Structure 1
C-alpha cells in the first residue's frame, strides 16, 4: 500500500468540519466504481448507452469490461500499488472515462490533466503528486514525453489504437475492485490556476457519490432517459461531475465532445438530442450569438458554473430559448456545486441557496457573520471540503471549520446568495469598494460588448483605478468614441463612481481551459 496520500493530507485540525456525513450513511469499505458502473450493469442497465461520441455509442457493459481490463494492465503490467497516483491525459473521450474507472477500480488515485497543458505545467503536477505512471492519448504524447525527461514520471502508456489497447486485449473482462475505504483518496484534482499557482485537492471515494446525492439528484432530478452534454473537460471537477458522475449515478447517458466550442456544442445538442447542458457563462454568451432560431427543443435544463453568471446573460438566454439557466457556484476544493438555483426556486441574478447537506454564511475579516445585505467573505461547510495536498495554503482556505472560497458575497433577507466578486477582484478606489463583476455586468448589457473583464490598476491619486478590457462584437469599431459611449453607459447603469476610467479594446481575454478569465494575467500586463 502506497501511503503517500495519507501522509500528505493536511493535519486533521486544519480540515473543515464535515457536516451531515452521518445522514449519508456510507459503509466503511467503498469503491465508487462499483456504485457508478458495476451496480448499473447488475441493475440491468448493461446494454443501456452510457457514453455517446461522434464516432460511436458505448454501453455500460462495454465500459465496465474496458475499465476492468485497464485495471488489470495497471496491476499486472505496471505494478500499480493501491494508493499510487496515475496521471490521465486526454480530451473528453470514451477512453478517458474508461481509464478513470480503471484507475479507481485498481485502488489508484486518478490525477486528470487538461489536454492543453504544456510540459512545464505537467511537471508541477507530476512532482507535487509524485506520479510515476501515466495513461495518455497518443495525440497528446509529445508534451508528456518532454515532462517525463525532467520529472519522476517513469512510464507512459499511450492509447488511441496504441499500446494500451493491445495490452488490454489479452486481459480478463472481469475484475475484483480493490476494497478501498470510503475515506481513501481516489482523486487529486488540481485547481485551474486563475491565480497562477495551482493546488492539488484531495477527494475521497465517498465524495464522488456525495456530489451526486447533494446536487445532481435533488436539483437536476435526472432519469435514465436523460442525455448530458457540456464543454468543461473531465479533468475539471465541474466536467467530471456534470459529464460523467452525474449521468452515471442516474443510469443516464453522456455525450462527450473532444472539442466543445459553442458552434460544435450547439450542433451536438441538436444532433444527439441532449437534455441537460453544463457549460460556462462565457459559452452561453457565445451560444446566444450562434443560436439563430432559439430551437433547443430537447433541452430541459441548463447549468452554469465556473464563473459568475451575469443577469444580462440569464435574461437574454431566457428571452431567446425560453429556458432558465440554473446558476451555481462550486470549487475544486469542495469538488462541485454547493450553492445553486433550482428549477422551482430561481431568483435571477442570485446564485441561489445552499444545496442539500451544505451550509453557507457571509463573514467579515474576523470570521464573524455579517447581517443580510452586507458584503463579506463566503464561508461554506458540508459533506465535502478542502484538503490540499501538502500545501500551506490550507490554513487560508479553511478557518474555524469553514471553507473560505475566496468569493465576496451578500446574502439577502430570504437566504439567497448574491455574488459580488472574487475577494481579490474587489477594487478599492478613492475609498469606494467596487466589485469588478458588477461593472462587467453593466458593460455586458451594451449592444457592442461580446465579453469583458474589469480589474483594478494602481493609481497614485485613487489608490486603484477601475479598468475595463472589452472584446467587441462584429460590426463595431474600437475607437475613442465607442470607449466614451461605454463609459457613459456604465455611469447611467450603476453608480457613476464605479465606471471604468480606463478602457481598452482587446481581441480576446486570457482564460483557463475551463473558461475562467485569468485576471491575474491582465493585472500583470
Structure 2
C-alpha cells in the first residue's frame, strides 16, 4: 500500500477525511512536483499512526491557513501574535495582512508557483516567520536555514532541494550571494535595495490572499539535518505534519493557553525553534517573543521584560542561567521545555530548587519534526526523557528490530503521525526499518514505562543543543592546504554536554597554528560547528587495514594517551 494513501482507521498510512472514512489518492496542488517526485519509495516509509481524533485531518489542508486565518477567526485580529525587543507587537490582524501581501508578491512579482522551493534565511524576527507562513500559504515549500551557515553549506542545501527562490534578511545576504547558486532568485527584506520585499508588499493588493488548495500530504517544508556522513539530509514534511506536532506534544504535554508568551533560544532554522516559537503559539492563539540574540544572558532579562510564560531552550542554557536567575524576575514562567541534548538530573534539580519550576524534558528529531517522548507535571521523573507523547509509540530494540527487555539498552524506535521522509537519500533505509523510525539514540525503557537516554548511537556530536556531524567538519578541515588527514569527535564537557575536538595531521613543514585553522573553518562552517579544541598528531590511530579508530580518539584526553597500546600521543591542545 502507498503510505500516502488511506489504511484502516487507527493505524492508517495516510490522512483520512474529516468523518474518518477512507478516501482515494490525494491530488497535489503542486505545479512544480519535484518534492513529491523525490519522496522515498512507498516500501521505505514508516508506518504512520492517526489514532487520536484530532489527527484525522481533511484531505485538503493548508497549514498556514489553519495556523493564522483560523486563529484570527477564533481569537480576533487585535490579539498579539509576535513581540520583539525593538518595537510594538504585531497583532494577529497585522500578521495576517503582511503574510497575505508577501504571498501576493511571491506568486505575482516573483513568479513562485506551488511546489517551488523557497529558501528562508535571517535572524529570528517576525519578518522571517511571516515569510515562512506566506511561502506555505502560496503552496510553495519552505526551506529555512540558519543565518550562520556559510556559502559552501548553503550551496549544498540549495543543490539538494533544487531551490529556485530565496527570501533573505538584507543583513545576511552576502553569504547567500557568495554561494553562487545557479538560477537562484534572491529577494532581500529589510534593506534599501529597490526590489526589497518590504516596498514590494506595500504595493501588493489589499485583502485576503486566496491560499493554495494544498493536499494534506503536499510537502510544506524541507528541514535539513546533518548525518554522520556530513552530507545534509533534507527531511520532507507535509502540511498535516505541521499541525500534528502541535496537536500531539503541544496540546497534550505542553498545554499552552492563549494568554501565554513563548520565548526561547533555538532559531527558526531548527525545527525545535520553529515548533516552539511559531507553530505552537499560533495553534494556541498565544504570542511569541522573537529575539535575534537569545543566549542565556539575553533570555533572563527578556523573560522579566515581556512576562514570558513558556520557555524553550537547551540544558546548557538552563545550566548557564542558574547563576543569574536570582537577579531576575522569572515569576511569569510556568512552562520550561528542554530538548536538543540530554537533560542531566542535576540540572533539573538545580533549576527546580532555584525557580520552583519543573523542566519538561523531551527528545525530538528533524526527521520527525518535533518532540515525541516527554512528560510534564506529576509524570516527570528527573533523569529520564519521559513517556511517549499521546499519538506516538516508542520501544527499545536490538539490531534485528526485536524489543529488548526493560532495563536493557538498545536502539530507540518510534512511530506516530509524522515519519522520516528523506529527500532522495539512500539513508532512508537506515532510519526507517520495519515500519519504525530509528533515531540513532541508545535508550533504556524502565519498568514504569519511562524512557531513559544512554548515548548517541552514531558519530553525531551534540554540543549545547547543536548537532555537529564530525565528518562534515573533517571535510571542511581537509579543504585547508596544510591538513593531510583529520578526525573530529566529541569529548564530554560539563557545560555543553560535549564539545567537538579536531585531531589533525599536517604536512611536514606546516606551522601548528590552531588559530589559523579556526579562522579557516569559520569561513567554511557555521560557528557552532567549529571545534573547541584542535589537537595536532603525527598520525591518526588506524587498524591494520587502515580503518580509523574513532573510539581511541574519544578516549583520549588532552595530551594523555588513550591507553598503553600505541595510540599516538595527542600533542599539546591548542
- What TM-score range do you get, normalising by the shorter chain? 0.7 to 0.9
2:10 is the counterpart of 1:10: no
Bigger share in helix: 1
Secondary structure of residue in 2 paired with 1:344: helix
2:74 is the counterpart of 1:43: yes
Per mean C-alpha deviation after superposition, the further-off stretch among 190-199 and 380-389 is 190-199
2:58 is the counterpart of 1:27: yes
Output one character per residue of 1:372-417: Cα deviation in whole Å (capped at 9) or x when no partner: 0010000000000100000000000000000000000000111100
1:494 corresponding residue in structure 2: none
1:85 corresponding residue in structure 2: 117
Correspondence 1:235-384 to 2 at 5 A = 235-293=269-327, 295-384=329-418
1:65 corresponding residue in structure 2: 97
Structure 2, unpaired ranges of 5+? 1-30, 462-490, 504-539, 544-548, 563-568
1:122 corresponding residue in structure 2: 154
Residues 138, 159 of structure 1: 8 Å contact kept: yes
Relative to structure 1, is the Cα distance of residues 28 and 467 closer, same or farther in structure 2, using a 3 angstrom cutoff? closer
1:140 corresponding residue in structure 2: 172
2:233 is the counterpart of 1:165: no
Relative to structure 1, is the Cα distance of residues 379 and 49 closer, same or farther in structure 2, using a 3 angstrom cutoff? same
CA distance in 2, matches of 1:451, 1:307: 8
TM-superposed deviation, 1:197? 2.3
TM-superposed deviation, 1:44? 3.7
Task: Give the counterpart of 2:421 among 362, 383, 387.
Answer: 387
Output one character per residue of 1:332-383: Cα deviation in whole Å (capped at 9) or x when no partner: 0000000002122011100000001110000001111100001000000000
2:473 corresponding residue in structure 1: none
TM-superposed deviation, 1:152? 2.7
TM-superposed deviation, 1:469? 8.8
Output one character per residue of 1:20-52: Cα deviation in whole Å (capped at 9) or x when no partner: 267322111000111110011222421110000
Secondary structure of residue in 2 paired with 1:333: helix
TM-superposed deviation, 1:296? 1.4
Relative to structure 1, is the Cα distance of residues 272 and 468 closer, same or farther in structure 2, using a 3 angstrom cutoff? farther
2:176 is the counterpart of 1:176: no
Task: Give the counterpart of 1:97 among 121, 129, 136.
Answer: 129
CA distance in 1, matches of 2:225, 2:460: 21
Relative to structure 1, is the Cα distance of residues 119 and 459 closer, same or farther in structure 2, using a 3 angstrom cutoff? closer
1:156 corresponding residue in structure 2: 186
Output one character per residue of 1:56-87: Cα deviation in whole Å (capped at 9) or x when no partner: 21001111111101111111111111100000
Secondary structure of residue in 1 paired with 2:377: coil
CA distance in 2, matches of 1:121, 1:160: 24
Correspondence 1:325-474 to 2 at 5 A = 325-424=359-458, 440=492, 444=494, 452-453=498-499, 464-465=551-552, 467=554
Secondary structure of residue in 2 paired with 1:424: coil
Output one character per residue of 1:439-479: Cα deviation in whole Å (capped at 9) or x when no partner: 95xx74xxxx676559999598x994485799xxxxxxxx9
TM-score by length of 1: 0.83
Residues 262, 281 of structure 2: 8 Å contact kept: yes
1:189 corresponding residue in structure 2: 223
CA RMSD after TM alignment:
2.9
Task: Give the counterpart of 2:262 among 204, 228, 237.
Answer: 228
TM-score by length of 2: 0.76
TM-superposed deviation, 1:53? 0.7
Per mean C-alpha deviation after superposition, the further-off stretch among 375-384 and 15-24 is 15-24
Residues 365, 439 of structure 2: 8 Å contact kept: yes
Residues 300, 328 of structure 2: 8 Å contact kept: no
Residues 294, 320 of structure 1: 8 Å contact kept: no
CA distance in 2, matches of 1:78, 1:246: 30
2:143 corresponding residue in structure 1: 111
Per mean C-alpha deviation after superposition, the further-off stretch among 242-251 and 185-194 is 185-194
TM-superposed deviation, 1:293? 4.0
CA distance in 2, matches of 1:280, 1:458: 34
Relative to structure 1, is the Cα distance of residues 105 and 374 closer, same or farther in structure 2, using a 3 angstrom cutoff? same
CA distance in 1, matches of 2:111, 2:460: 50
Residues 37, 60 of structure 1: 8 Å contact kept: yes
Secondary structure of residue in 2 paired with 1:82: coil
Secondary structure of residue in 2 paired with 1:55: coil
Residues 341, 497 of structure 2: 8 Å contact kept: no
Residues 137, 212 of structure 2: 8 Å contact kept: yes
TM-superposed deviation, 1:221? 1.1
Per mean C-alpha deviation after superposition, the further-off stretch among 336-345 and 451-460 is 451-460
